[in-house]
Amino acid sequence: MYLAIGKIIVAAVLISFVSWLSGKKTSLAGFLTALPLTTLLALAFSHIEWGDTKQSVEYAKSVLVAVPVSLLFFVPFLLAQRFNLSFWTCYFTGIGLLGGGYFIHTYLSKMV
């Protein structure tokens, strides 16, 4: 139980800090967000909780495949000015692209 509460607190503090920082230093917040901080935490938490090295390695390989696929979310933002897209249009279109990216991830994960 304490492990779950600890994980929630660490993740909440990290997300809250980067969100706050985005209003002060956008480029630093973007850099920190792009770091695999969540992956570092999740891999460590998972391994502490389950203690299975093989499972942790498989998890890390899945993340490796998912990272480039997850960049599909940002494609609408890159095209926002060209097509005069609003934030929410970009946001929800990006989420839709992530849905398709999941199937790409599933396919590619079988190959790794």
pLDDT at residue 3, as a whole number: 84
What is the amino acid identity at position 14?
L
pLDDT at residue 30, as a whole number: 87
pLDDT at residue 92, as a whole number: 98
One digit per residue, the tens of pLDDT, for the chain of length 112 reads: 888 898 899 889 988 999 999 999 999 988 888 877 788 888 998 999 999 999 999 999 998 999 999 999 999 999 999 999 999 999 999 999 999 999 999 998 888 8
pLDDT at residue 36, as a whole number: 79
User: What is the residue whose two structure tokens read 């599933």?
Assistant: 106
Are 71 and 54 in contact by the 8 Å Cβ rule? The answer is: no
pTM, full prediction: 0.67
Of 35, 44, 36, give the one whose Cα is nearest residue 3.
Answer: 44
pLDDT at residue 112, as a whole number: 80
